[in-house]
Amino acid sequence: MSRIVYVNGDYLPEEDAKISIFDRGFLMADGVYEVTSVLGGKLIDFDGHAARLARSLAELDMAQPISHEDLLAAHRELVARNDIEEGLVYLQITRGNPGDRDFAFPDPETTPGTVVMFTQSKPGLAASPAAKTGIRVISIPDQRWARRDIKTVQLLYPSMGKMAALAARADDAWFIEDGMVTEGTSNNAYIVKGGKIITRERSSDILHGITRAAVLRYAAEAQMEIEERSFTLAEAQAADEAFVTSATAFVMPVVEIDGAKVGTGTPGPVAARLREIYLEESLKTAI
Ligand code: PLP
C-alpha cells in the first residue's frame, strides 16, 4: 500500500501527487519546512514547530497559506491514514508556481504557496540503538548562508556534510565557523563540562531548534546548570560529554569528534538523563 500524502488540500496516493516544474521550491529552493516527530501516534511539540514555521515564512516575506488549525488537522489526518505509530510528518511550503522562472517574487494574491506534507514511518525511533552507543562526528567548515535561523529547504551543504561524514566512516558532521562550533548538519550541538550543559546561544548562525528549547527548559526544571555560549572544537574534544538534539534524534550522545574520544568514549549520564526526561515530558504534551 502506498503512502497517502498531502498536496494543497488534497490527500493522494504518493504516486498521484504532483507539483509544477515551475514551482519556486524546485527552481529556487524558495521554501521552508518543518519536521514533527510522532510517538505513540501523537505529534511531539506541534505548537513549537508551527510557531517556527510562521517565523520562517515571515522572515522570507511569504504568506501563510494554511491556518494553524488546518495544519494540525492535516498532520493528524496523515498520521491516521498512514497508520504512523513512530515516525515523522514532513511539511514543506514554497512560494508556489508563478508559471515561469523569474528571480522576482510573484504576487502572493495570484500565486498561492504550495503546501506539501508526507509521513515517514520509523518504528523503534524512541528506542534507537544509536542512543545506546552514541554517534561519531567529524568537523567541517560552515559554508552555509548566513540566515540559518530560517528553516529553508536549501539543504545541499548539509547533505555534502553528511556525505563527508559517511566518507570518513562517521555518522554526522559539526560545522565550524571562526574556530567555533555552530551546529550539526541537522541538529544542535552541546557539550557537558563539570556538570554544566553548554550550547551555542541563539542567533542567525544556527537554527533555533524546537528540541533545543524543550531540552533546555526540562534541564532548567531539573536544576541542571546551563550556559548558552559558543565553544571551540578543542573544548568539545576535551569535554566530559557531547550530544546533539533534533526532532527525530531527540537527545543523541556524541562519543567521538574528529577521531578523539569524548570523555570515556561512551554515552555520558547527562545526555542519557536528558534523553529520558525529554521523551517522558514531551510525550505528556503530545497531541
Ligand atoms: N539545526 C539544524 C541545522 C537542523 O536542520 C535541525 C533540524 O532539522 C536542528 C538544528 C534541530 O531542530 P529541531 O530540534 O527543531 O528539529
Residue pLDDT, tens place only, 135-194: 999 999 999 999 999 999 999 999 999 999 999 999 999 999 999 999 999 999 999 999
Q: Whose CA is nearest to atom 7 of ligand 1?
A: 186
Please name the amino acid found at residue 155: L
What pLDDT is attached to residue 30?
A: 98
Pocket probe mutation, ligand 1, options 32, 246, 252, 279, max atoms within 8 Å of Cβ: 246
Please name the amino acid found at residue 255: V
Residue 45: name the closest of 250, 243, 198 by CA. 250
Q: Whose CA is nearest to atom 3 of ligand 1?
A: 186
1 pLDDT band (50/70/90 cuts)? low
Work out which ligand 1 atom sits closest to the CA atom of 210. 15
The average pLDDT across 214-220 equals: 98
What pLDDT is attached to residue 55?
A: 98
Mean pLDDT score across all residues of the chain: 98
The DSSP secondary-structure symbol of 152 reads B
Residue 36 phi, psi (nearest 5):
-115, 130
Q: Whose CA is nearest to atom 12 of ligand 1?
A: 209
Residue 136 phi, psi (nearest 5):
-110, 135
Helix (H) or strand (E) holding 237: helix 233-237
Check 18, 122, 132, 151 and give the catalytic one. Answer: 151
Beta-ladder partners of 198 = 191, 227
Distance 189 CA to ligand 1 centre (A): 10
Three cell numbers written together for 61: 516575506
Cβ partners under 8 Å of residue 20, min gap 6:
26, 97, 99
Distance 207 CA to ligand 1 centre (A): 6
Whole-number Å distance between alpha carbons of 96 and 112 = 6
What pLDDT is attached to residue 67?
A: 97
pTM of the model: 0.97
Q: Is 42 among the residues known to form the active site? A: no
Q: Whose CA is nearest to atom 1 of ligand 1?
A: 187
Distance 36 CA to ligand 1 centre (A): 11
46 pLDDT band (50/70/90 cuts)? very high
**3-class SS string, 69-80:** HHHHHHHHHHHH
Instruction: Classify 32 as helix, strand or coil.
Output: strand
Helix (H) or strand (E) holding 129: none
Q: Whose CA is nearest to atom 8 of ligand 1?
A: 186
Please name the amino acid found at residue 133: T
Distance 175 CA to ligand 1 centre (A): 13
Work out which ligand 1 atom sits closest to the CA atom of 213. 14
Residue 183 phi, psi (nearest 5):
-165, -175
What pLDDT is attached to residue 175?
A: 98
Work out which ligand 1 atom sits closest to the CA atom of 185. 3
CB-based pocket (< 6 A), ligand 1:
35, 183, 186-188, 207, 209-212, 245-247
Distance 23 CA to ligand 1 centre (A): 25
In this prediction, what percent of the chain has a pLDDT beyond 90? 99
Structural contact between residues 52 and 209, judged by C-beta atoms closer than 8 angstroms:
no
